Amino acid sequence: MYNKTIAELARGLRSGEFSSVDLTLAFLDRIKQHHSLNAYITVTEEQALQSAKAADLRLATGNAELLTGIPMAQKDIFCTEGIKTSCGSKMLDNFIAPYNATVVDKFNSAGAVMLGKLNMDEFAMGSSNETSYYGAVKNPWDTHTVPGGSSGGSAAAVAARLAACATGTDTGGSIRQPAALCGITGLKPTYGRVSRYGMIAYASSLDQGGPMTRNAEDAAIMLQTMAGFDDKDSTSVDLPVPDYRAGLSNSLEGLKIGLPKEFFGEGLNSDVAATLEAAINEYRKLGATVTEVSMPSLKLAIPAYYVIAPAECSANLSRFDGVRFGYRCENPADLADLYTRSRGEGFGKEVKRRILMGTYALSAGYYDAYYIKAQKIRRLISEDFKRALSEVDVMMGPVTPSTAFGIGEKIDNPIEMYLSDIYTIAINLAGVPAMSVPAGFAQGLPVGLQIIGNYFAEDRLLNIAHQYQQVTDWHTQTPKGFE
Amino acid sequence: MSLTVSEVKDCAHLARLGIEERDIGSYAKDLSGMLDLMTQMNDLDTDGVEPMAHPMDQVQRLRADVVTEQVDREKFQAIAPQVEAGLYLVPKVIE
């Protein structure tokens, strides 16, 4: 039963094929069995069984929602009241959140069953899940390779069927890249679509939560619960939430797809390129027309991102000072020593690197040359997107330059790791929504197709992904040993 | 472009971030690599371009000036490293 989608599980729960308690026990058992993947930081067995019992009662009254009784898991960046919320860091290893993130509240009121908290790169800074204080997560397709990051635990858990679905967050590709490397479906919504309240901040103008699932229909179900205006998030967008499942079956006849030529140049692995070519051909068969588009400023997305994100991170992470919560060093000599050592001992190397970079870019004398310059480039990139998306309905391209790389392969070379974010980062700078959809395999490892849409066009993206999944079966494949 | 050891130390001080003496060299190297990446930005003429701070170009929402939340001191201080009589304790600042 753990191999079913949310939609199938919801039917099984209603037909009496199994109860939510049965399902929850089955997933908890699998989590134990595949403990070595290191996908979970915390398993909340007791609470999960309690919620499952409550969900079964609710299902019996006929007052259930689609997610009622569905066992899912939260990325450990979302605050969960009374439950450790570590953000993958030693800094928050002892942090029991005193409140729920809005996203967590929404899943709770839908009656979803939380199995636990998922591993991630420390403070969501990383593309391989290797910066986690709790150790690297393994990719279920090949346990010597990384699952991607920062939502690596989420992607590995969904791919290995250790949860029916999971939440992720995406600042520069952290939902789409792990989804691609683990062969699952991931959606980064438009900036402001999903509340950031209680989602521990990395780079506030880029961070966005979203669903990580088996297929597009499940992503629509999850997004339905996650999306919506939230008074507690000052950048939440007050627009009505459409019915994301309503348009899934729409025909793609006449769909205009743009391929940014900058996405298919040097650096893209040829097997990945061939796989994407085949996927785009499927769309031609579904009635779409394909044209080339150009995004001239795209090449500067990585430099601009690695100014803006560290700048915002250096400000956001100043709250971790060893005074009110989180890690505090032993025997501080004075207040300065308390701050300096608590932060020095509590943060890992990648986080420190970004805090230092951000501090430098914001410091007197460099602010205009780096921070303001990066913001101007951000404007040009966002104009590229607006122009391209006025010519075509969506853009398609790779999510990553290659398939999953080996654990330990890039961790000592941060710049090389940053460069692998080339196809995902610009989307966050512009704030538009984008998905990763399983599109085949190269050298036995999953390849993701990226679909990029206009602001608030999540319903269109889901429709386009769903139609592809009606004529392909890449999304139904399961890693060997996890069937 | 490269960042010197003393510039790294200055940034660490500004950020109140403890870094090990033996790691400073490797931070200087990594940050210099990042700066090299960033100097590519100078290839693009951005004169007259309005900086973009936020994807939606939003303004901050206003709300009525009414109490919406009560601070639960006990609950929030339960997770603090050191408290006494409702106050957060830190090392002595004034002799």
Mean pLDDT of all residues belonging to chain B: 92
**pLDDT grade, residue A427 (50/70/90)?**
very high
Read off the tokens for A399. Answer: 């999510």
Structural domain that includes position B17: 5-43
Mutate to test the interface with B, among A170, A356, A411 (most CBs of B within 10 A): A356
Coil vs helix vs strand at A120: coil
Nearest to A302 by CA among A146, A186, A175, A429: A429
- Do the Cβ atoms of A234 and A255 come closer than 8 Å? no
A316 in contact with chain B, both atoms CB, cutoff 8 A? no
Is A150 considered catalytic here?
yes
CB A210 within 8 A of CB A192: no
Q: Which helix (H) or strand (E) holds A373?
A: helix A373-391
Of the candidates A174, A195, A402, A436, the residue annotated as catalytic is: A174
Residue B93 within any structural domain of the chain: no
Is residue A450's pLDDT more than 90? Answer: yes
Terminal alpha carbon distance of chain A = 11
Dihedral angle sign, alpha carbons of residues A67, A69, A71, A73: positive
| Confidence check: pLDDT of B1 > 80 | no
DSSP state of A194: B
The string of pLDDT tens digits covering residues A164-218 is: 999 999 999 999 999 999 999 999 999 999 999 999 999 999 999 999 999 999 9
Q: For position A266, what pLDDT does the model report?
A: 87
Sequence-ordered list of residues with C-beta below 8 angstroms from that of A11, at least 6 positions apart, any chain: A17
pTM: 0.97
Q: What is the pLDDT of residue A75?
A: 98
Q: How far is A1 from chain B (nearest CA, A)?
A: 39
pLDDT at position B69 is 83
Mean pLDDT over B74-89 rounds to 95
Between A306, A336, A352, which is nearest B37 by CB?
Answer: A306
Q: Among this protein's residues, is A410 annotated catalytic?
A: no
What is the predicted pLDDT for the residue at A192? Answer: 96
Mean per-residue pLDDT, A286-295: 97
Residue A176 has a pLDDT of 98
Residues of B whose CB is below 8 A from A359: 11, 14-15, 17
pLDDT at A364: 87
For residue A187, count other CB atoms closer than 10 A to its CB: 33
Which residue in B12, B43, B51 is closest to A356 by CB distance? B12
Quote the radius of gyration of chain A (alpha carbons, Å): 21
pLDDT at residue A76, rounded to an integer: 98
Q: How far apart are CA A135 and CA A32, in angstroms?
A: 17
Name the superfamily (CATH) of residues A6-255: Amidase signature (AS) domain (3.90.1300.10)
pLDDT, one tens digit per residue, over A83-94 is 999 999 999 999
- In this prediction, what percent of chain A has a pLDDT beyond 70? 100
Q: Which two tokens stand for residue A392?
A: 């075509």
Structure tokens at A441: 């395999």
Task: Report how far residue B35's alpha carbon sits from residue B49's, in angstroms, rounded to the nearest whole number.
Answer: 22
The DSSP code for A112 is P
Provide the CB-side half-sphere exposure for A417 (13 A, CA).
25
A126-170, pLDDT tens digit by residue? 999 999 999 999 999 999 999 999 999 999 999 999 999 999 999
A315-372, pLDDT tens digit by residue?
999 999 999 999 999 999 999 999 999 999 999 999 999 999 999 999 988 999 999 9
Distance CA A223, CA A458 (A): 9
CA atoms within 13 A on the CB side of A438: 30
| pLDDT > 90? residue A1 | no
pLDDT tens digits along A232-254:
999 999 999 999 999 999 999 99
- pLDDT tier for residue A280 given thresholds of 50, 70 and 90: very high
Asked if the structure places residue B13 within a domain, the reply is yes
CB atoms A303 and B14 under 8 Å: no
Q: What is this model's ipTM?
A: 0.95
Domain tally, chain B: 1
Name the residue in chain A with its Cα closest to that of B36.
A303
Average pLDDT, chain A: 97
3-state per-residue secondary structure call for chain B: CCCCHHHHHHHHHHCCCCCCHHHHHHHHHHHHHHHHHHHHHHHCCCCCCCCCCCCCCCCCCCCCCCCCCCCCHHHHHCCCCCEECCEECCCCCCC
pLDDT in tens, B8-26: 999 999 999 999 999 999 9
Asked if A372 reaches chain B (Cβ–Cβ under 8 Å), the answer is yes
In angstroms, the CA B19 to CA A72 distance is 38
Per-residue pLDDT reduced to its tens digit, B28-72 = 999 999 999 999 999 899 999 999 988 887 777 888 999 988 889
State how far the Cα of A23 lies from the Cα of A322, in Å rounded to an integer.
41
Whether A44 shows a pLDDT value over 90: the answer reads: yes
Indicate which of A237, A327, A376, A389 best probes the interface with B, i.e. most B CBs within 10 Å of its own CB: A376
Q: Report in angstroms the alpha-carbon separations of B8 from A92, A203, A464.
A: 25, 22, 48
